[in-house]
Amino acid sequence: MIHIYRYILYIFLLIPFFFLAGKERPAIAVKFELGEASYRNNFYDQEIKRIEERSAGLICAKLKAYIGFLDYVQSGSADSLIITLDTRDQFSAESQLKEVGFHLKLKGPNIAAAVEPIYWMFRSWKHYDLPLGEADAFIRNITTTFESHLKDKFNQLVEELLSNYQLGEEAMLIPEDLTWVLPFKKDSLGVAEGSLFKVKNQVQRSYGSKIREYRAEVVGIFTAQNSQFPQKYYLGILAEALPEQRYLDDIRTEQSMRPQGIYILKYIPHAGSQSIPPTEFDIGEGGE
């Protein structure tokens, strides 16, 4: 049971030492690469550059519509979601018929080590030789085929890939209630109750430090008004540790426990999350 008044008391006592404003949505750069050699041979270098840049921009918009806890940009972030359109690994270089798809991987300083990429099909081997069309038609095909996968598999993208991206480092621990206040503005992550986070915590011991990881469910969001602070001061997202995890008692008893990493495991968007029309483009051939 969540004790609302206790949370409010904790937070107001710690406001001067905590975040005076929640953090904005973390940013990740989206890069699109045309890797398949036979596809590249259909276009001039300037066309390839435009295909890659335009596809990246349109995919950014699609990702914002479906997975709103990140700000998808084309530059300005050290962390990247790299989407390469290339042959599926199981096909040899000598094969005349190849399956081509989207290879999605993460790269950057805030990415957990050894993250396996995921793969979504663009064209099966049966349709490998179909014409690509002009550059604009190819861009539409890329974008709509990617979105057709995103509609059905955005949970896979979150759970298998984006869950390895560190959204932040600091949080406020309320040990007796097994709860963390995550330092994000109300609308930054766009998460609803039921979304799951992983919170990494460091525990200092005489012989060194240990890492404790806990799964925590979003249970509420707080805002408050006070003349000493901005008119609408955002306090954070409340996430409560799920039961039946190892080392839950450590949260209450370890005085040295300090949060040091926040990751999202399950994303449920709240009703006010931003969206774009899913029919911006008609689905074209290529998603078979």
Decide if 98 is inside a domain: yes
Q: With pLDDT > 70 as the criterion, what percentage of the chain qualifies?
A: 79
Do residue 210 and residue 146 come from a single domain?
A: no
Do residue 45 and residue 135 come from a single domain?
A: yes
Output the pTM of the full model.
Answer: 0.81
Q: Is the pLDDT of residue 135 over 90?
A: yes
The residue-averaged pLDDT of 227-247 equals 69
State residue 90's pLDDT score.
56
Domain boundary among 130, 164, 198: 164
Q: How many domains, in total, are found in the chain?
A: 2
Do residue 36 and residue 159 come from a single domain?
A: yes
CA dihedral 257, 263, 268, 270 (to 10 degrees): 80
Decide if 89 is inside a domain: yes
State residue 220's pLDDT score.
85
Q: Is the pLDDT of residue 287 over 60?
A: no
State residue 195's pLDDT score.
95
Domain boundary among 117, 139, 164: 164
pLDDT band for 65, please (50, 70, 90 cuts). very high
State residue 186's pLDDT score.
63
Do residue 63 and residue 130 come from a single domain?
A: yes
Of the listed ranges 63-67, 93-97, 105-109, the least confidently predicted one is 93-97
State residue 227's pLDDT score.
39
Decide if 286 is inside a domain: no
Decide if 122 is inside a domain: yes
Decide if 287 is inside a domain: no
Per-residue pLDDT tens over the stretch 138-192: 999 999 999 999 999 999 999 999 999 999 988 888 888 898 888 887 677 889 8
Domain boundary among 164, 186, 208: 164
Do residue 70 and residue 152 come from a single domain?
A: yes
Report the CATH number at residue 252: 2.40.30
pLDDT band for 91, please (50, 70, 90 cuts). low
Q: Is the pLDDT of residue 235 over 80?
A: no
Do residue 92 and residue 181 come from a single domain?
A: no
The residue-averaged pLDDT of 250-274 equals 86
pLDDT band for 229, please (50, 70, 90 cuts). very low
Decide if 271 is inside a domain: no
State residue 288's pLDDT score.
36
Decide if 285 is inside a domain: no
Do residue 155 and residue 103 come from a single domain?
A: yes
pLDDT band for 255, please (50, 70, 90 cuts). confident
**Residue 11 lies in domain:** 4-24+167-266
State residue 239's pLDDT score.
92
Per-residue pLDDT tens over the stretch 69-78: 999 999 989 9
Average pLDDT over the chain, rounded to an integer = 82
Decide if 284 is inside a domain: no
Do residue 145 and residue 97 come from a single domain?
A: yes
Do residue 114 and residue 176 come from a single domain?
A: no
